[in-house]
Amino acid sequence: MAVFKEGYEMSRANNVQVIEGPATEVTFRLEPTERPLQSPPTVATQISAGSFIEPTIFHHHNHEVMTAMLQDYAHRYPHITYLYSIGQSVQGRDLWVMEISDNPGAHEQGEPEFRYVGNIHGNEVVGRELIINMIQFLCENYGHSPEITDLVDKTRIHLLPSINPDGYAKAKEGDVQGEVGRANANNVDLNRDFPDQFYEREGTLQPETKAGIQWTLAYPFVLSAGLHGGSLVANYPYDSDKLMKVMYSKCPDDAVYIQLSEAYSFEHPTMHLGHPNTQCPNVYPDETFDEGITNGAAWYNIRGGFQDWTYLHSNCFEITLELGCVKYPKGEDLPSYWNDNKMAMLKFIQQAHKGVKGFVLNPNGVGISNATIRVTGIDHNITTARDGDYWRLLIPNSYEITAFADGYAPQTQTVTVLEDWAVQVNFTLLLASSIDPQVTVPESSDPLTMPDAKWDRIYNFNLQQNFTKYLSNIDLQKKMAELRAMYSDIITLKQIGISRNNQNIVGLEMRVSNRTVNKPKVALFGGLHGNQPVGRELLWRLAQHLGEGYKQGDHLITNLLTTTTILIIPALDVDGFTIASEGKCEDTYRGDSFAESFLQNDAGHMPERPEVTAMKDLFGLDKFSLVLAIESGGVFTRYPLDNGDSTEDDDLLFDLASQYSLAHPTMHVGELCGDKAMTGGISRGSDWHRALNTIQDYVYLKQNSFMVTAHVTCCLYPDHDKLKKAWRENLEPLKTFLHLIHQGIHGHIHTVMNEPIAGATLKLQGHTMNISVDPQTAEFHRVLPPGKHYLIATAPGFMTVRRQVDIMPNQLTHITINLERELNVSYHDYNKMEVMMRTLSQKYPGLTNFKTIGRSHDLLQLWSLEISKQTGEHLPGKPEIKFIAGMHGNEVVGRELLLALAEYLLKNYQKDDIVTKLVDHTHIHFVPDMNPEGSEAAKSTEGTCVGNTGKLNTHGVDLDRDFPSNISGIIDEKVPEDETNYVMKWMNSRPFVMSVALYGGTLMVRYPYNTKDTAGKPSITPDNDVFQHLAQTYANLHPSMHLGTPACPNNVGEEFDGGIIHGASWLPYSGSMQDYNYDYLNCLELDVFVECCNYPQAKALKGLWENHQASLVEMISQVHQGIKGFVVDREREEPIEDAIISIEGREHHARTHKDGDFWKILLPGSYQVTVKADGYADKTELIHVQAEKATEVHFKLRYDKRIMGLPPVIFVILTAVIVALLVVLIIFFVVKIYRSSNTAKMKRGFYRLDGEKMYQEEYNDRVALRDFNSKDQLLSNEYHDFTDSESDNEIMFNRTS
């Protein structure tokens, strides 16, 4: 329903219901279209924990219950609430919003509007319930708490509990990290459905998305938060970038968003700690967030998110709040979520009162709607609301703020924003037509249009600029000499080379001389094409700007020049410039160009231009970390490759281009040149114009440096009067680019004694190109995009080390990488092996547990070494992996590889981040020699490739055929050897998830089964896909194993596809340890055959260790794949031991340990997982497994009170009936026995005969004798003496024939 009247704004009433009985009352509030300025609300009161009326009912609300609750509160608190629907879901459910304000249903002048949005992912329900709690809290505390009353009086608060009620209807309570119910009824993820700045979406918007968009545009929201679940962090824009890579994607209001996010995080008791794993230690154990906040794209990249769309298309600033690891917690856990988030939610609402606020008015004092508010230096404008009121969130600082509107002259004011509440700044704009030409119009604050003197004062250290002409080559050299003289303490002239026509090519090298020897270097050059001279003019002015900034003590410039060497070459193609013509915008002639001849020698073209030779010599002499070229022919920034597709450094190159584009006032919006514009103002070179042999590609491919090219004007050679605009537009981007030199890493590669390692190399994991390391000082510097990166440091004679670095925007991370000397891998007999293991245990007592797990037949100990952060006992939730070698005593390489692996892990703990993480989160066990007698017997056979000396144990038994086997359905009952027996006992004592056994004799990885089935066919395990993946992973990391052609002397033609093989398809046999692990222990074991020779020469061990190191370490990482979790009693929260975890479609199950924890290695995909335990109801969940880390799943089982499959009451009744029947049967038999006994117990002697009875008997005899056919009846009668004798001869006689 709608009501309207001339001079008033139309008012609507949604969802009016008319029922039988009294008329439904509807009240409409009409507001005048033009209202005089009212006094804005005073600042809000600080809220602190105090005496509040707290919600008392905590449970999950389905849509119907939630609707009834909202309607009830709207009815009970009509003076502060207004319930409305912004639309309906796919399935017709209303998207309810509860407005809470002292004047509900209307926007009040000067009052900011705030919103919380919940449940955009239907299975993430914490936000939904918190918003419902907040509705109760605000309503019930209004008039009771002065702070809450003040907040409601001065803020119009909109609360949307669920924008995805259909998804919620499908979600299941107890979901930790699932997907059921995440999407809407059309199976669309609503937080991927909004229009995206980098991606053209397809299809129509979902109805919930449309409702969210229309709602956002209909209200002047200032601040918003979307409430999600799955982690514990405050996430701010942007969520996406052009490359869809995990990298920091900064919006113009990055600083404001950091302040907003921290406001929530620091008020939350644990979010600000930055460790979500404290709440859910097993969901994402390694996930951390500095201060509990993150840039969205730096965490993970999404397209079509609500928060990015909101920021880009409205005045509203929105963040995303991840409220916990568990997406759909149990109802009993909801009070703790409310207690953790209540104060943070209130404090975040108050952030709408920060920054600047006010009105934009016409000369009559009436508000101007849709006027623009621009903050100088921040490329994000907002507009005024209907009454001319505005709110602009800002961090504390001084700003120039300009208000302008169509038909009015703009006005600028300087404002200082304070820490506490918003400062009010009102603007009264004069009509443009009414301004007297004699009256001075307020100066523009737009950097592009403000007067020269003002711009020079604000932005250029009062340096006056002359744009009356382009400097000739001679004038340019004079200007450079002049700059050298003016700023001689920081500028030196550098001869770069001579052009073909013998003109000098000169550069300006800028730096502050100090003791820092290896400063990172940046090169900027222009005039690469003679007919594109804008870069010449910009770069000499930049040198002047930097020199004057240093002279006047500008902090940023001083710091930049103190820590960086900057080389500025204004003009390269000096010959071409002399013949180019000003004003030619589309001239295809570029002078006598050499710009596309830097890789010509590679293509066989000669000779080389002297300018090209000079630049190549320069790049060969000086290692530049960053390079920027200034060209024309568009307004965008280009990055490599110009003749090729993506590179391994696209994330960095894209970031460099993006930073320049974003700092430019118009480039990032895709400025149109002719009919062409670049999305986001950036482009890969080959996407714009494929070109061969460019300097940009040369710098990247040949010099391993990072170069981008800024195209700064559409016109190639614009008229000189366009230079001022180009200079003003590009000064800030140029400085931004220079400062990027300090975003990344800087450090040294040292020994553990902190001595530089000459010849060290460094590269990023997954990259082929090395990072430049100084050959003498081992110092390095590398620009990196924001995010997490792994560095790999190597040096001859040292062990490789990997370090993780977290790069923050505009910050340089300093790191020293310490390398350990490489291992001395040699043979160890039994005694030396024991000494080495014992020595490692003594040297690293906090990380090791050295013990014997049993003994051989000849009483040699079977030594074991456990490595972990906590050893001795199984730590619940930490997986266990074991490495075993020496089962065949003559195959000794495995023993040495395991000893080397143990030493490698211990020496690199807290030096190598990968090793540290593995040791911290894994129980790693080593048994290097399972057959010590055999290995001792084989000592004399060193250098022998084949042979069986020492292969068997003392009894002549092959231990790898000695384990129980039931693969054919027949359980082997043979008595195992001592070694086998003790190893089995040890393996049963810990919940091993994975095992690696090392053998010799060939080069490949074998996976089970090793026996054939009853039909004689090779037996396949239910986890065959997992085994193949694990085996192939090992083989692929070995330099030659994956080739599958070991070429062993004893089997020259033997081949293994991919370097792996199914055991029973190769050499089938029974009794293997591998099959025993799988069938009896649920442990996945790989058998790695490490070398053709059983006992190679000792000198070969070093190479063998180097070949297998990466594969062995990776096996420890692989144990962290699949699913993991705990199974506990739902009511008592106690672990359930021996619960069965089954995967649909796999006839092989995992079981829980005594602590209730379990692990199951699975490949990425979706699985139906069912948990069963005696006495409990089964539980099934759909689990999504991702690569690289295990998905954690916690199962809480409900105790099944049924007895023998029956409900307790039925069982008791049935039992009572059975007992009663038994009692009746017992009584019956007792009575019967008793009667029989009494009949037999007559006393001995004579008794008076019973005449009547005798007569009857005689009568019967007579009757019987009458009938010859009845003679048998007569003969069957018996005659007794009735005595109490216990003799068996109670029958005195029988009538016989």
Query: What phi, psi does 44 have (nearest 5°)?
Result: -70, 160
Distance, in Å, from the CA atom of 255 to the CA atom of 1024, rounded to the nearest integer, reads 52
DSSP track, 945-994: SS--TT-S-TTS--GGG-S---TTS----PPPPHHHHHHHHHHHHTTEEE
Provide the H-helix boundaries in 291-333: 296-299, 306-313
Provide the H-helix boundaries in 501-592: 534-551, 555-563, 574-579
Spatial CB neighbours of 79, under 8 Å, sequence gap ≥ 6: 102, 104
- Other CB atoms within 10 Å distance of the CB of residue 1140: 17
- From the number of C-beta atoms within 10 Å of its C-beta (0-12, 13-18, 19+), residue 223 rates as buried
The pair of structure tokens assigned to 494 is 């550098």
Residues 935, 938, 940, CA angle at the centre, nearest 5°? Answer: 135
The SS3 assignment for 1079 reads helix
Work out the widest C-alpha separation in the chain, in whole angstroms.
Answer: 166
Spatial CB neighbours of 61, under 8 Å, sequence gap ≥ 6: 69, 128, 129, 132, 161
Q: Are 1150 and 1158 in contact (CB under 8 A)?
A: yes
Q: Are 459 and 377 in contact (CB under 8 A)?
A: no
Residues 30, 36, 38, CA angle at the centre, nearest 5°? Answer: 95
Spatial CB neighbours of 729, under 8 Å, sequence gap ≥ 6: 448, 664, 665, 666, 667, 712
DSSP, res 944: B
Distance, in Å, from the CA atom of 804 to the CA atom of 171, rounded to the nearest integer, reads 37
Catalytic position from the list 108, 113, 322, 880 = 322
Spatial CB neighbours of 391, under 8 Å, sequence gap ≥ 6: 112, 220, 222, 315, 352, 355, 356, 357, 382, 422
Number of H helices, E strands in the chain: 32, 50
Peptide bond into 396 cis (omega under 30): no
The SS3 assignment for 149 reads helix
Q: Is 54 a catalytic residue?
A: no
Which of 178, 122, 175, 287 has the alpha carbon at shortest distance from 1184?
Answer: 178
Q: Are 545 and 603 in contact (CB under 8 A)?
A: no
Distance, in Å, from the CA atom of 211 to the CA atom of 1198, rounded to the nearest integer, reads 40
Cα dihedral across residues 584, 588, 594, 597: positive or negative: positive
Distance, in Å, from the CA atom of 1070 to the CA atom of 1089, rounded to the nearest integer, reads 18
Cα dihedral across residues 441, 444, 450, 456: positive or negative: positive
Which of 306, 239, 296, 225 has the alpha carbon at shortest distance from 267?
Answer: 225
Strand partners, 374: 402
Strand partners, 272: none
Residue positions annotated with a catalytic role:
322
